[in-house]
Structure 1
Amino acid sequence: MTIPLTTRWVVVDIEGTVTATEQVHVVLYDYARPRLGAWIEEHPDDQEVASAVRQVRELAGLPATAGVDEVVRVLHEWMDADRKAAPLKTLQGLVWQHGYAHGELTIRLFPDAAPALRAWHEAGTHLAVFSSGSVAAQIALFGHTTDGDLTGLFSRYFDTVNAGPKREKPSYDRIAEELGTAPEGIAFLSDVPAELDAAAAAGWRTVGLARPGEPFADADFGPHPTTDSLAHLQVVPQR
């Protein structure tokens, strides 16, 4: 069934929406896990790394003198629990950037994703990303897909640091303000009903992605129009 969508902006989630969850939880997580400790040790003077490590200690209740091994233990626990902790996302993003830059990582998107994103962009719809992964990680991911470099399709990137938690309405209020667009001129695509609920509460239009084999494939999407492919969206730029 085709879902008509007239909008100025389309904001997309990443995992479960444009790429399979396993691409993040297996490919990316498995790459980062053994490299986090070495990255921290090799970049002691990097302010971004130092700030992230300090935040890990604070959030985990570790003493300020806790060593790298203790910090990494916490990071691994958060990864196992899929916790969307900002310092974890920052450190993962830095490690992934290195992997992409050295040709060690490439992300496979769903077959319908790149053609749809390109078509919407060429038709004049503005595209943005809102993901729990850091902005740096988002840019690196879309720059190194099996469909090529897609970063030129996106005008803005948002994460839990510059926007806020994905399941809370104020985050979507903040993004709308940043985009300079009325809420009704923004559509959010996600596989997580709670995220769609928060976006809808902020006045956004929403579409759920219930992709076979994904964690939320059989979830209750309630009032949100739902599809299993971006190819089923008929996006028309709002003038």
Structure 2
Amino acid sequence: MRRFLLEISAHMYKEIKYIMRDPAWLVVFSIFPYVMAAMSCLMGIASSYISPDAFSEFQRNTGSSNAMLYFLTGYGIMFPSFLVVSVASENTGAEIASGTLEQIFVSPAKRELFILFSSFPYILFAMLGLIVSYAPLLLMGISILDFLIAMTMVFIGLLPLLGLGVLASNLTIKVKEYWSAANFLQAFLTLFSGFAYPISFLPEWMRLVSHVLPTSYAVELVRKYVEAHSISYSNLYGIVLMAIAYITAGVMSFRLVEKEGERSGSIYSS
């Protein structure tokens, strides 16, 4: 157990050192959800000049009377999701490009821990950024207790992304281009997760896809609690089950990629 914990802490320590080299991204990360939410609201205001019923239609379609809060909760989860997926892919790509991936793989350290826990520090720093970003919600009448519960829900909602991060790393090992894997998964999450619109607006086949994405559950869970002070236990249980399923699937698929790559020698080629 001690060795297991030491390996995890070593992987996390390395990533934390990388993060602290340029802490300014935390400021950008905290502001960006407001920028995107403001842009969406401005588009709504522009639409209201064409259709005076634009905001009433928004309320009817989304069930939310506060457009800024609706978009802020969605974009607040979108950016951490992008961060975890892209960082997992980018880190693996960087190890391949620098020729250090094989050094990690021939070391006594467990390869699965490297793939899995290299992304975890970014979830922690994403949560720090979200706490700063969501702090103004306290001025909108949300109590400190509700704020802390909402942040806990966001954290739980981000855990399945560790599994998605492993899948992104697997794609990077296969295609050798981290931006291809990261961009594909980011576009996929944006389209199906309902960050900026209800997933009920999607065609039926797209709604079926959204139901297997943890981000769609996380968005709905946080929105419902922040706006209605109600905990959707079905979404909460779904996220916990997805965390187990995605992490398990990610680790198992990594072992398959690893086995096939070692057989062909492609796992170490850049």
Is the structural similarity TM-score above 0.5?
no
With the length of structure 2 as denominator, give the TM-score of the two structures.
0.28
| Structure whose residues are more often strand by fraction | 1
Q: Rg bigger for which structure?
A: 2
With the length of structure 1 as denominator, give the TM-score of the two structures.
0.30
Structure number with higher relative contact order (C-alpha < 8 Å, ≥ 6 residues apart): 1
| Structure whose residues are more often helix by fraction | 2
